[in-house]
Structure 1
Amino acid sequence: MREPNAIDFWRGLALVTIFVNHIPGNTFERYTYSQYGISDAAELFVFLAGWSIGIATRGRDGTPEPRLKTVLRLLSRTIEVYRAQITTMAIALAMIAGTALLLDNPLLLEWHNAGGFFADPIQTMVGFVLLTHQLGFFNILPLYVVLLGIAPVFVLLARVSRVAALGLSFALYACSLVFEWNIPSWPGEGDWFFDPFCWQLLLVLGFVAQDWNRRSAWMRLWSTRLVPLGIVLVITGIVLSVWEIRPDPLMVPEPRLIFTFDKTYLSPARLIHFLGVLLAFQTLYAVLAPRLGPVVGYLAGLGRNSLAVFSVGSILSLAGQLVRFWTGGGVFVDLFVVGSGLFALGFTAWFVEWRSRKPRSSSPPV
């Protein structure tokens, strides 16, 4: 088990924020940083995934691992994330169906786009397996599956030229904004909530930034000097968010996605705001770590076991939504739902690490 570090800490904070925000309307949602900016925890989660890929695909001496090993590593992780998505979706459907039976309320079968499965299970089952039909709030892992699947292209290209990798990524991002490229949903209408063609830019930025941060003292110096710019962008995001100042999608010129705050296509405003957040808070962990004690350990533990924690958090957030629907919500219900959920996330992280430390039996299987 590795010691707490900035990457795991911020990833843990992103996981907590996503869990709380995935229970819409709860009392504590208003206190998450996602309510005070244009971007939110999803951007941080994807960026840190790219940063982690940069660390994982290099040896302790900093040299890149063999190409085939990198491809197999990313393929293995892709399969793990895909398996987690299928499992959590199956559990979520069972929870929705079970609650509908318990409360004798068939309208719950429409919860978060689940109606298609119960109305047409044959086609929708195929869509679930293909990841083209997604439940609401269960659409980050499909994005992650696609990003990990294409990551080897950018990782191997970056070893030849980081500028070329960034150039290809920006070109794909720009074309997706202009032509609105996205993966269509099926069965049913619409597109993916997170457009992989745009969100891949954050993954690549995270990977390249990690490499530059490790190798370039000049980049580290300039990132520190740009902290005031980051603070200005953060304050601007707070003003725009609190006063709900957003461009009208029907009034902006074409290509409209460049001028809106669209989350699906990671519009430039969201991207710029997120980069400002990175600049403003890049040195904050060193200040917080000695002062927060157990909180740092808790969040870092979540970050170390992000896939398991995210999967359990998705199930718990759905459970929280259903409990609030059943009880009508309220401060005490929210305190129980969020408090027990945060405890369960911490237990999940502990349990995953306990299993990895537990000595395996040498006796032959029966």
Structure 2
Amino acid sequence: MPPARWRSDMAAKQRDPRLDFFRGVGMFIILIAHITNNPWTLWIPARFGFSDATEMFVFCSGMASAIAFGGVFARAGWVMGSLRIAHRIWQVYWVHLGVFFLTLVLMLALNMTGFFARDEVNALNLGPFLNTTGPNLIGLLTLTYVPNYFDILPMYLVILALIPLMIALAAVDVRLALLASVGIWVAASAGLNLPAELWFAKPSDRAWFFNPFAWQVLFFTGFALMAGWLPAPPVRRWLVWTAVAVVFVSVPFAWGKIIGQVEAIRTLRHAGAVLIDKSDFGILRFVHFLALAYLAWVAVGPEGRNLRQTGLAGRAIALISRVGQQSLAVFAASMVLARVLGAVLNLAGNGPVAALAVNLAGFGLIIGVAHLAAFFKAEPWKTARTRAFAVHSPTEVRP
């Protein structure tokens, strides 16, 4: 592939309906997964395979970034493209802080009501932040204090910062960018990571749970496919059946009921723990996700034509896609809402009816967030019909 090939490919990309749909699916799964003690989590894909909604989020973010930022690099050059990335990093950074503080305030408010038996603040391990706020506030602002629940967006920030490097390498030769991504992944498996509790009163060597130097390989796989750095895989019967086999063979090693009853499975899973490790993105997680992604890609058809449905199915697909189009706003809202919904579910007794009500309420809320975010992004005040708006002086005499 010639060094400049990626520029024209990236500049020509438009919004992809497949990307919107699967990002939307991922947002619903992420909400379910983060509602505390949610019985519905027993049926999300993560319970039946090595990969989960995190892989969907990261992979789709890579594809979306190729669309959103690739054209800027192609049209305005590397410096302006890097400034566009810096602007996005700035936006996501403040979203991360907003999610943290809003969640903390809501958990404090829940504790103060006296209705909830569980300490919602310490359930998120936020006691150290409140006990030594000064040092940990510095850590929070410098991303050296990263509690587990709040670690997705910091990971995304580091990966975004790697985009200008990868594009600079791709400008020389695409293979350099791909090799660099794999090399960083290998370095991460050897220990490259960032501190998560640097400012704790008692020294802690805990690193970020989601190692950004490992997870970037999945992000840049999606980026490379959308940018044209990697060719789209062909639709072949043998490839479909290979992907199906990978998915089904993974089930016994991921499904808790089988793991709990078969000692041989537990032994094999323990022996291969590094291959399915979530923090450092083990290679079997990668393989499992690629198999699922390939099957999904084949299922929706060329250019996502099988997503163009009518009737109830069409409305459901459109609704899910709308959520996917506003994934950052929806993700941030769901991280906050999930803790509140989990507290309500726990208060209601965690029964099936309560779980149904809480999960459906959560779905309604993130759908509402998606519509609200789309409304504000459209900037309706710019196209609204002009209306006279009179401002009366306080001294004006009115009839």
Q: Name the TM tier (shorter chain).
A: 0.7 to 0.9
Give the corresponding residue for 1:200.
216
Distance in 2 between the 1:95 and 1:212 partners?
Answer: 44
Report whether the alignment pairs 1:285 with 2:297.
Answer: no
Report whether the alignment pairs 1:339 with 2:364.
Answer: no
Give the corresponding residue for 1:81.
92
User: Could you tell me which of 156, 160, 184 is aligned with 2:195?
Assistant: 184
Deviates more, 1:23-32 or 1:349-358: 23-32
TM-superposition CA deviations, 1:153-172 (whole Å, max 9, x none): 11232232221111011111
Give the corresponding residue for 1:139.
151
Distance in 2 between the 1:247 and 1:165 partners?
Answer: 38
Question: Contact 1:234–1:273 at 8 Å: present in 2 too?
Answer: yes
Give the corresponding residue for 2:80.
69
Identity %: 24
| 1:120 to 1:223, Cα distance in 2 relative to 1, 3 A | farther
| 1:131 to 1:322, Cα distance in 2 relative to 1, 3 A | farther
TM-superposition CA deviations, 1:175-211 (whole Å, max 9, x none): 221x222111123421111001101111111111112
Question: Contact 1:100–1:108 at 8 Å: present in 2 too?
Answer: yes
What's the Cα RMSD here?
Answer: 2.7
TM-superposition CA deviations, 1:188-245 (whole Å, max 9, x none): 42111100110111111111111238x85xx442678622221111112223222234
Shift of 1:13: 0.6
Report whether the alignment pairs 1:114 with 2:126.
Answer: yes
Structure 2, gaps ≥5 residues long: 1-13, 260-264, 392-399
TM-superposition CA deviations, 1:325-359 (whole Å, max 9, x none): 33332122212211111111111111111123312
Give the corresponding residue for 2:247.
234
Deviates more, 1:154-163 or 1:237-246: 237-246
Shift of 1:3: 7.4
| 1:315 to 1:249, Cα distance in 2 relative to 1, 3 A | same
Larger Rg: 2
Aligned residue identity for 2:359: V
The residue correspondences of 1:2-151 to structure 2 (distance < 5 A) are: 5-59=17-71, 65-103=76-114, 107-151=119-163
Aligned residue identity for 2:332: S
Distance in 2 between the 1:208 and 1:192 partners?
Answer: 25
Question: Contact 1:57–1:64 at 8 Å: present in 2 too?
Answer: no
Report whether the alignment pairs 1:323 with 2:362.
Answer: no
| 1:120 to 1:249, Cα distance in 2 relative to 1, 3 A | farther
Distance in 2 between the 1:192 and 1:63 partners?
Answer: 33
Question: Contact 1:58–1:65 at 8 Å: present in 2 too?
Answer: no
Shift of 1:251: 4.8
Distance in 2 between the 1:166 and 1:110 partners?
Answer: 42
Number of residue pairs aligned between Structure 1 and Structure 2: 354
Determine helix, strand or coil for the equivalent of 2:150: coil
Question: Contact 2:300–2:307 at 8 Å: present in 1 too?
Answer: yes
Structure 1, gaps ≥5 residues long: none
| 1:33 to 1:64, Cα distance in 2 relative to 1, 3 A | farther
Question: Contact 1:6–1:285 at 8 Å: present in 2 too?
Answer: yes
Aligned residue identity for 1:81: V
